[in-house]
Structure 1
Amino acid sequence: MKFGNVLLGVLVAVVWGFNFVVADEAVADVPPFLLVALRYLVVAVLFMPFTRRAGLAWKYIVAVGLLYGVVQFSGLFLGLKLGVSAGVSATIIQSQALLTIVLAWFFLDEKFGALQWAGLAISGTGLTVLSVSGGENAPLLGVTCVLIGAAGWACSNIVLRKAGKISPWTMTVWQSVAVIPPMLALSLIFEHGQVGTVTHMRLDTFGALLYIAVLATGLGNYLWYRLIQQEGASKVAPFSLLVPVVGVVAGWIVLDQALSTRQSIGVVVILVGLALIVLAPQLRARFAPRKEPGNEAGNDETTAQPAAVEASTE
């Protein structure tokens, strides 16, 4: 992997990880449902004029918009509003990887190896420890909201898989039209003071909104998709493991959100499990038995195994 792309991968992880701290500050002044609507409104205004829909089916736009935009970010921002710290939120939301594996196995009949299931079990254990840890940084109701957000993200991954080859950037921008109306409706029903919140928004809150929309969504997604195109998903995916680490460290430094011993253990266990899931294809390829010289044509079992490894890596 090129050194410049390694730096870009780290940059994306830092931008996304710090986004949890920024969002934590933003929900102190902006109600969570309204914040989601404003986030996608900024994305639509800035990027939609320069992004053609290019035949992307509306059924996928609406489905991903509702699951990824509405459910995920409503759950995340509501969890932050209810007191879940930036670091804990950044870690819990990554449980979408675990839920995606289970959903893909059930609905898409995708096969996963023993390493990935072991990683799933390990991360699930860490998530359980973190969820029941309690304390001011992980109230149960807030943790539940973030978990619901993670479930929405996981379901959107299944929809994207069903959609086939589509432009991720086009989906990122155009799902705004499916997110803004329901989020405004939810805000009008469950929140109040929307006009005053917008017209009297503080400069730092407005800056946080721009960070969430422009940097975390615009720059972050663009660089991520570009890296995947240049280097491949298997090489780029491990950088996502840095996101909760950055979220935990940034929350500690900027917001003074220290974790309890039990919460710290939960975070570490989750990251170990996620690392095992993400790196499973590389580990299988590295430790798989190699073909012995001279057996290429005479040993069906030997020749079949590398093909299976290659397929699982893809």
Structure 2
Amino acid sequence: MIRNDLFLAIFVMAIWGFNFSMIKLGITEVHPLLATAARFTLAVVPAIFFIRRPNVAWRYLFGYGLVFGVGIWGMASWSITAGLSSGISSVLLSSNALISMAVGVFIHKELASKRKVIGAATSLVALLVLVSATNGNITVQGLMFIMIAAACWTVMGMIVKASKTTQAFAFNVWGMLFAPIPLVLFAISLYGPNIAMHAFDSWDVNTTIAVVFQAYPTTLFGYWVWNRLLIRYPLSTTAPLTLLVPLFALISGYFMYDEVLSVAQVVACVLFLVGIGLIVKPASNVSRVTTKSLANPAQ
């Protein structure tokens, strides 16, 4: 990867990591499902009027929006409200690589390489240590929400592959069109229509800053750059860079919210990300079509 592209990629990873702190900022007063709905509304409008709809069936766009909006980012945001620190939320979301590997092995009967098996074993042990060594930055409910988000990431990958799209950025923008309404309806079904009025009354400057950051630098700019890099370089070059996202999330969580890990958790995070790195590093013969469909559109 040439130097300018490498710097740009690292910059996007920093944005995606900092995004978890911005999520926490935006859901202090407003329910995470509604804040996430606002994020995707801003990301879609007005961008969708300037981007041609990808040549795929509507069901794939709807499925993507539902899973990406409610399943991944609705649950990931909610996990922070439910007690996860923003940095830990980012680290645990990387568990999607473990879940995807398990689906491939146990459902699709794929063979896992020795490297992937070692990576999975390392990550699982580190995950157990990370959770058991909590200093209050992990809760059962928060862990449940982030694991749902990680599992939905695998489902999202299946939807993208099934659509056979070759227009990743357009697919992402048009798919997000179907995220806001399900998020709002889900929140209302749980808490009643008053939840929307509470969000309106509680909305403040911090919420606006957080939602705008998530919509534009994180979603539109980040995905635009990331998809350009996926076209230019193989997954073996780009995929390891996504492991910088949890690192930046942990750093920003420390400086913004004084989120501190125990020594055992620091070691566990390092081992966990090393294990995930062994899983996501592809074989050299992976095609660029696969590169686009399996890319971690992290954030």
Contact 1:281/1:312 (8 A) holds in 2: no
1:149 corresponds in structure 2 to 149
CA distance in 2, matches of 1:206, 1:311: 41
Kindly state the Cα deviation for residue 132 of structure 1 after the two structures are TM-superposed: 3.1
Residues 25 and 206, structure 2, Cα contact 8 Å, conserved in 1: no
Distance 2:272 2:33 in 1: 28
In structure 2, what is the equivalent of residue 76 of structure 1?
A: 76
Distance in 1, matches of 2:287 and 2:178, equals 34
1:245 aligned to 2:247?
Answer: yes
Q: Counterparts of 1:179-190 in structure 2 under 5 Å?
A: 179-190=179-190
Output the CA distance in 1 between the equivalents of 2:168 and 2:93.
20
**TM-score, normalised relative to structure 2:** 0.89
The 3 A distance-change label for structure 1 pair 46 and 111 is farther
Q: 1:170 — aligned with what?
A: 170
Give the Cα–Cα distance (whole angstroms) in 2 for the partners of residues 51 and 104 of structure 1.
33
Structure 2: how far apart are the matches of 1:257 and 1:133?
15
Counterpart mapping for 1:211-250 below 5 A: 211-250=213-252
- 1:87-138 Cα shifts (integer Å, max 9, x gaps): 1001000111111122233444544311012111111221222233343211
Cα distance per residue 1:209-233 (max 9 Å; x no partner)? 0001111111111111011111222
Instruction: Write out aligned runs for 1:1-314 (5 A).
Output: 1-191=1-191, 192-198=194-200, 201-279=203-281, 281=283, 310=285
Q: 2: distance between equivalents of 1:112 and 1:162?
A: 22
Q: Once the two structures are superposed, what CA deviation does each residue of 1:136-169 show, in whole Å capped at 9, x if it has no partner?
A: 2111211111111111111111221222233221
Give the direction of change, closer, same or farther, for the CA distance of 1:311–1:176 in structure 2 (3 Å limit). Answer: closer
For the residues of structure 2 that align with 1:2 and 1:130, how far apart are their CA atoms?
36
Q: CA deviation at 1:280?
A: 5.5
Identity %: 26
2:187–2:195 contact (8 Å) kept in structure 1: no
**Structure 1, 247-256 or 153-162: larger mean CA deviation:** 153-162
3-state DSSP class of the match of 2:115? helix
Amino acid at match of 1:146: I
Residue 54 of structure 2 aligns to a residue whose secondary structure is coil
Q: 1:280 to 1:264 in 2, by over 3 A?
A: same
Give me the whole-angstrom Cα distance separating, in 2, the residues matched to 1:168 and 1:70.
20
**Structure-1-length-normalised TM-score:** 0.85
Shift of 1:52: 1.5
| Structure 2 letter corresponding to 1:51 | I
Aligned residues: CA RMSD: 2.0
- Taking a change above 3 Å as real, the CA distance of residues 158 and 106 of structure 1, as seen in their structure-2 partners, is farther
Quick check: 2:80–2:86 contact (8 Å CA) kept in 1? yes
Where relative contact order (Cα < 8 A, 6+ residues apart) is larger, the structure is 2
- Contact (CA 8 Å) 2:83, 2:141: kept in 1 or not? no
How many Å separate the matches in 2 of 1:83 and 1:71? 18
Contact 2:69-2:183 at 8 Å conserved across structures? no
Q: Any unmatched runs of 5+ in structure 2?
A: 291-299
Q: 1:148 to 1:38 in 2, by over 3 A?
A: same
2:221 maps to a residue whose letter is L
